[in-house]
Structure 1
Amino acid sequence: MSDQPKTAITPPTHTVPPARFSHGVRKGNILQVAGQVGFLPAVEGVPPTPAGPTLREQARQTLANVHSVLTAGGATWEDVVMIRVYLTDTAHFAELNEIYNAYFADLQEPPAARTTVYVGLPAGLLIEIDALAVLG
């Protein structure tokens, strides 16, 4: 696989990252989605804006943002083998599981593996999610 090029993935809904990284990178049949947060789709000239102050609003937008990168990279949720969730508050775990289970209710079995950890994020952000997909 080393002779295959890496391709950066940036959906039109996303701004250019604030540092030197890609929203997603595809190499061969592997697609790694970088950590996404609950920012609304990009509007030129407007700074990134969270979907709202609640975990529910941000989690649903974060999942939509991960999905945008997957789609732009030629993948679907069915191709995802690993999801990592980063929460800022341990008290959000049960609510996250409720939102997560509802979001993926129609996904084919087996579900992707998942890890959830607790981290610090920039002010106002409650959740970040990344994903690893294997296509084909």
Structure 2
Amino acid sequence: MEKIVISTDKAPGAIGPYSQGIKIGELVYTSGQIPVDPATGNVSSDVKEQTRQSLNNIKAILEAAGTTIDKVVKTTVFIKDMNDFANINEVYAEFFTQPYPSRSCVEVARLPKDVKIEIEVIALA
């Protein structure tokens, strides 16, 4: 199967040797998205806004791949502080409806640009 690189200026560009997303067969894999606003390069200090921006970046990559956030089957959420879990879930529920994708959520010591959250997904193409 051929790997197809997914790229859009509606999400932050890669800051290393990786692609925003890869489509292979009937699946799309996004790289972890941190909450950088692609238009301004800014990052909010609020965890809810950071969650919303990370998910909007994912949404843009999925749309560039020809799919939608409704087709997400798996998410991985990396958070800096597990005490933010409830606030993150509140925003997460704005983007995903039942049946919810499967999910892993882990607290990590540090994320790029010292953000509070990073999210990656796998979606049906």
What is the CA–CA distance in structure 2 between the aligned matches of 1:14 and 1:114, rounded to whole Å? 22
| Residue 16 (structure 1) aligned to one of 13, 33, 44 | 13
What is the CA–CA distance in structure 2 between the aligned matches of 1:16 and 1:93, rounded to whole Å? 27
- Structure 1 residue 95 corresponds to structure 2 residue 84: no
Normalization by structure 2: what TM-score? Answer: 0.90
CA RMSD of aligned residues (A): 1.5
Identity of aligned residues (%): 31
Residues 15-47 of structure 1, C-alpha deviation per residue, up to 9 Å, x if partnerless? 43121100100011110011001100245xxxx
What is the CA–CA distance in structure 2 between the aligned matches of 1:84 and 1:70, rounded to whole Å? 15
| Residue 31 (structure 2) aligned to one of 34, 42, 52 | 34
Which residue of the partner structure matches residue 129 of structure 1? 119
Normalization by structure 1: what TM-score? Answer: 0.83
The structure with more radius of gyration: 1
Give ranges in structure 1 of 5+ residues lacking alignment: none
Shift of 1:103: 3.2
Which residue of the partner structure matches residue 76 of structure 1? 68
Aligned partner letter, 1:31:
V
Kept in 2, the 8 Å contact 1:53–1:124? The answer is no
Q: List, as ranges, runs of 4+ consecutive aligned residues in structure 1 with deviation greater than 6 Å.
A: none
Aligned partner letter, 1:61:
Q
Question: Which is helix-richer, 1 or 2?
Answer: 2
Which residue of the partner structure matches residue 59 of structure 2? 67
Give ranges in structure 2 of 5+ residues lacking alignment: none
